[in-house]
């Protein structure tokens, strides 16, 4: 079992704690704030709801969370130590040597600093790297790594193991990369508000109704590459470069950061969304982020690609009641509907993923499909036996009812938690030639593996199979 020490348990430290815990790490927290336990509990409750919802497989069992009054005790034996104390250099200079003294020699010591360079953070004897994450840390994959190349490489491997995307910044610079960009846009946005051109709400709409959606999946340069068309990036720059250069010679002033500006922004922000609590805003944000990242999984783009790669590494479950487990997952909130439970469609979505897994188990996998053969579903019968809610764990077992020739007849049981049979899905598939789109005999190796399953499931009961819709219970 790996251990992470979290030094400073605010929103960022709490996000790190959640990211490690939900990926099966033990987490030891040091934070002198008497509210630390409550605050981390709140972040964790958001994270438990959102992070597993990105995945179509179960994450490993949660690690153990402990709180420590002594920093040395928290740090002892940790493989990763993450400093997320407030952003003042003096404080970091006081804490990092204490961490260093208590740390294992091969522990990664990361700082969440958004602005300081490693050469500023480290004094004689300390060897922290910058590991700068983005809020919410339990959902957004990006971590900027700056510092000793060997340590950064080791850190990157660990971060990939907990589903994050390490970006190694090769030259140290104030504010690393992303915050330089944020800084530039923040400055311009403050001008727009101060000059009365636009309110905070109008600026937010100008982002999320337009370029924000482009950036979430491709970023800045790739977007402009498309704008340049077939002629490419040089053409784009030739076409728009001069126009873009006009404001380069203006707008270089900085707005004065005073109470008046703070009040102006704060008042507009209250008008925009003061009707929602921060907790409500966080959950709305998380639901949206989860939905968008799940959408990006289909093309493996950006954060969706990170989740796909991580999902591949998650251990496949084994068996239950003598039947193979073909799916185990948490139910995402996006699968629920106006009746506050999992919508009928997603019982089938989960079962369809279980069918895909069973196909892999008999060798009808991605390579087989690429070779031009597959199974097509011709019938499904779903019996909804109990409600399922967001956050519930679903486990699916698959029983083979028949599997001769072209036919594959399966019976999935969907278990909610440990004990409740929430649904059965009886499914009939036919083996198909993907070029003619007609039924065909499967490959001998597939037939043989399937025959093994047929034999091992022969004679098992399948209560609820072979029934028509509305068939009376006793019939």
Site for a second copy in 251-310 (CB under 8 A): 251-252, 254, 257, 262-263, 265-266, 268-270, 272-273, 277-278, 281-282, 284-285, 287-289, 291-296, 298-299, 301-303, 306
Candidates 43, 258, 26, 35; CA nearest to 135 is 43
Q: Is 409 in the site for a second copy (CB under 8 A)?
A: yes
| Count of residues of this chain found to bind a second copy when the rule CB under 8 A is applied | 155
Residue 49 or 294: the one with the smaller Cβ distance to a second copy is: 294
Q: How many CB atoms lie within 10 A of CB 100?
A: 18
Q: Is 302 one of the annotated binding-site residues? A: no
SS3 475: coil
Stretch that binds a second copy, among 187-195, 314-322, 413-421, 455-463 (CB under 8 A): 187-195
Q: Which residues contact 234 (CB under 8 A, 6 or more apart)?
A: 228
Closest approach, Cβ 455 to a second copy, in A, equals 20
Q: Binding a second copy by CB under 8 A: which of 2, 62, 66, 384?
A: 384
Stretch that binds a second copy, among 70-78, 152-160, 336-344, 444-452 (CB under 8 A): 336-344
Q: Is 372 in the site for a second copy (CB under 8 A)?
A: no
Please give the C-alpha separations between residue 182 and each of 176, 185, 190, 363, in angstroms, as whole numbers. 11, 5, 12, 48
| Contact between residue 387 and residue 342 where contact means Cβ atoms under 8 Å apart | yes
Closest approach, Cβ 359 to a second copy, in A, equals 10
The position carrying tokens 């029983």 is 399
Closest approach, Cβ 76 to a second copy, in A, equals 31
Burial of 180 per CB tally in 10 Å (0-12, 13-18, 19+): exposed
Closest approach, Cβ 145 to a second copy, in A, equals 12
Please give the C-alpha separations between residue 300 and each of 188, 261, 311, 337, in angstroms, as whole numbers. 33, 42, 12, 26
CA distance 138 to 52: 10
Burial of 214 per CB tally in 10 Å (0-12, 13-18, 19+): middle
Residue 94 or 187: the one with the smaller Cβ distance to a second copy is: 187
Site for a second copy in 42-81 (CB under 8 A): none
Q: Is 41 in the site for a second copy (CB under 8 A)?
A: no
Stretch that binds a second copy, among 99-107, 320-328, 390-398, 467-475 (CB under 8 A): 467-475
Stretch that binds a second copy, among 71-79, 122-130, 139-147, 390-398 (CB under 8 A): 139-147
What's CA 294's distance to the chain center, in Å? 8
| Contact between residue 433 and residue 427 where contact means Cβ atoms under 8 Å apart | no
Pairing of strands 420-433, 3-7: unpaired
Site for a second copy in 75-114 (CB under 8 A): 87, 114
Q: Is 421 in the site for a second copy (CB under 8 A)?
A: no
Q: Binding a second copy by CB under 8 A: which of 208, 313, 389, 460?
A: 208
Q: Is 23 in the site for a second copy (CB under 8 A)?
A: no
Which residues make up each annotated binding site for NAD(+)? 8-13
């Amino acid at each position: 079992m790996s251990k992470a020490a979290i030094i400073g348990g605010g929103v960022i430290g709490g996000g790190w704690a959640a990211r490690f815990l939900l990926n099966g790490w033990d987490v030891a927290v040091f934070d002198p704030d008497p509210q630390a336990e409550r605050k981390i509990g709140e972040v964790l409750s958001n994270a438990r709801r959102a992070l597993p919802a990105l995945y179509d497989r179960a994450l490993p069992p949660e690690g153990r969370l402990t709180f420590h009054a002594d920093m040395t005790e928290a740090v002892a034996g940790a493989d990763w130590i993450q400093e997320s104390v407030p952003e003042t250099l003096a404080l970091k200079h006081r804490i990092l040597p204490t961490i260093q003294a208590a740390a294992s020699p091969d522990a990664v010591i990361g700082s969440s600093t958004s602005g300081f360079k490693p050469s500023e953070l480290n004094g004689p004897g300390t060897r922290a790297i910058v590991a700068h994450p983005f809020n919410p840390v339990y959902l957004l994959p990006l971590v900027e790594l700056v510092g000793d190349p060997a340590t950064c490489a080791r850190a990157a491997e660990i971060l990939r193991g907990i589903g994050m995307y390490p970006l190694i910044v090769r030259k140290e610079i104030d504010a690393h990369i992303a915050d330089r960009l944020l800084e530039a846009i923040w400055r311009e946005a403050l001008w727009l508000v101060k000059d009365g051109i636009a309110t905070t709400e109008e600026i937010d709409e100008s982002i999320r109704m337009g370029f924000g959606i482009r950036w979430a999946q491709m970023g800045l340069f790739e977007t402009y590459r498309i704008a340049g068309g077939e002629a490419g990036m040089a053409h784009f720059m030739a076409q728009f470069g001069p126009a873009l250069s006009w404001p380069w010679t203006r707008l270089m002033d900085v707005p004065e950061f005073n109470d008046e500006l703070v009040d102006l922004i704060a008042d507009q922000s209250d008008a925009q969304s003061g009707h929602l609590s921060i907790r409500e805003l966080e959950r709305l944000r998380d639901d949206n982020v989860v939905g968008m990242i799940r959408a990006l999984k289909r093309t493996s783009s950006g954060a969706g690609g990170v989740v796909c790669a991580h999902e591949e590494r998650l251990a496949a479950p084994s068996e239950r009641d003598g039947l193979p487990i073909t799916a185990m997952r948490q139910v995402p909130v996006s699968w629920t509907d106006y009746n506050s439970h999992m919508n009928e469609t997603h019982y089938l979505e989960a079962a369809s993923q279980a069918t895909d897994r069973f196909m892999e188990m008999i060798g009808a996998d991605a390579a087989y499909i690429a070779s031009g053969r597959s199974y097509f579903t011709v019938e499904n019968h779903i019996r909804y036996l109990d409600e399922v809610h967001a956050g519930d764990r679903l486990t699916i077992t698959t029983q083979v009812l028949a599997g001769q020739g072209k036919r594959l007849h399966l019976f999935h049981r969907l278990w909610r938690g440990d004990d409740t049979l929430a649904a059965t899905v009886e499914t009939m598939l036919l083996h198909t030639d993907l070029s003619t789109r007609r039924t065909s005999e499967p490959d001998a190796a597939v037939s043989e593996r399937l025959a093994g399953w047929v034999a091992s499931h022969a004679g098992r009961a399948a209560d609820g199979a072979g029934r028509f819709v509305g068939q009376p219970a006793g019939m």
